Chains A and B, each alone.
Chain A
Amino acid sequence: MNPNKKRLRRTMMFLNCQKPGLIKDPYIYKPDSIMLDLEDAVAEKEKDAARYSLYHALQEIDYRGVERVVRINGLDSEFWQEDIRAAVAGGADSIRIPKTESAEDVKMVEQAVRAAEEEFHIESGRTLIMAAIESAKGVMNCLDICEASERLFGIALSGGDYTKDLQTHITGTGVELMGARQHMIIAARAAGVQCFDTVYTDLDDMDGFRKDVETIHAMGFDGKSIINPRQISIVHDIYTPKEKDIIFAEKVVKEIDAKSALGIGVFTVDGKMIDIAFYDGAKRTIELAKASGVYKGDL
Chain B
Amino acid sequence: MINAVGREIPEEILRITGKEVFQGNNYKEGVEFHKQGPIVKPVMDHNTSKMVGSIREALEKCGAHDGMTLGFHHHFREGDLVVNMVMKEVHDMGIKDVTICASSLGKAHDALVPYIEDGTITNIQSSGVRGKIGEAISTGKLKGLAIMRSHGGRVRAIQTGETNIDISFIGAPTCDDYGNCKGIGGKSDCGVLSYSFVDGNHADKVVAVTDCLVPFPNYPADVAMTKVDYVCVVDAIGIPEKIATGAAKPTTDVRKLMMADYCTQVVVNTPYFKEGFSYQTGVGGASIASAASLAKIMRERGIKMGFAVGGMSKGMVDMLDEGLVGKLLDTQDFDLFAVNSVKRPNHHRISAGAYANPFNKGSFVNKLDYVVLAALEVDTNFNCNVVVGSDGRITGAQGGHPDAAQGAKCTIVICPLLQGRTPAICTDVTTVTTPGESIDVVVTDYGVAVNPARQDLLKALKAADCVPLKTIEELRDIAYSIVGEPEAVQFGDRIVGIIEARDGTIMDVVREIKDYEFED
Contact = CB atoms under 8 A, between A and B. Distances in A.
Interface of A: 24-25, 28-29, 61-62, 229-230, 232
15 contacts: A24-B482, A25-B418, A25-B482, A28-B255, A28-B258, A28-B445, A28-B446, A29-B254, A61-B482, A62-B481, A62-B482, A229-B254, A230-B252, A230-B254, A232-B254
Nearest to A229: B254
Contacts of A28: 255, 258, 445-446
Contacts of A61: 482
Interface string B250-262: 0010110010000
B338 to A, nearest CB: 28
A177 B482 CA distance: 41
- Greatest chain A CB density within 10 A among B254, B418, B445, B446 is at B254
Nearest to A233: B254
B295 to A, nearest CB: 20
A172 to B, nearest CB: 21
B66 to A, nearest CB: 51
A70 B255 CA distance: 25
Majority secondary structure, A binding face: helix
A33 B36 CA distance: 66
A27 to B, nearest CB: 10
Interface in B230-257: 252, 254-255
B interface, size bucket: under 10
A147 B418 CA distance: 45
Interface string B482-493: 100000000000
A232 B481 CA distance: 26
Nearest to B258: A28
Contacts of A24: 482
A107 to B, nearest CB: 39
A179 B258 CA distance: 38
A24 B484 CA distance: 13
A220 to B, nearest CB: 28
Contacts of A229: 254
Interface in B432-478: 445-446
Contacts of A29: 254
- Greatest chain B CB density within 10 A among A28, A61, A230 is at A28
Given A25-B482, A28-B258, 8 more contacts: A25-B418, A28-B255, A28-B445, A28-B446, A29-B254, A62-B482, A230-B254, A232-B254
Contacts of B446: 28
Interface string B414-429: 0000100000000000
Interface in B472-517: 481-482
Nearest to A24: B482
A25 B258 CA distance: 15
Contacts of B252: 230
A281 B254 CA distance: 33
A294 to B, nearest CB: 13
Nearest to B254: A229
Interface string B298-316: 0000000000000000000
B477 to A, nearest CB: 12
Contacts of B418: 25
A12 to B, nearest CB: 17
B260 to A, nearest CB: 13
Contacts of A232: 254
Nearest to B255: A28
Contacts of A62: 481-482
Contacts of B481: 62
A61 B254 CA distance: 21
Nearest to B257: A230
A136 to B, nearest CB: 36
B483 to A, nearest CB: 8
A56 to B, nearest CB: 14
A278 to B, nearest CB: 33
A28 B257 CA distance: 12
Nearest to A21: B420
A61 B481 CA distance: 9
B297 to A, nearest CB: 18
Nearest to A60: B482
A258 to B, nearest CB: 33
B484 to A, nearest CB: 11
A289 to B, nearest CB: 18
Interface string B312-334: 00000000000000000000000
Interface string B16-53: 00000000000000000000000000000000000000
A230 B252 CA distance: 8
Nearest 5 interchain pairs by C-beta: A229-B254, A230-B254, A28-B445, A29-B254, A230-B252
Contacts of B255: 28
A229 B255 CA distance: 9
A205 B258 CA distance: 20
Contacts of A230: 252, 254
Contacts of B482: 24-25, 61-62
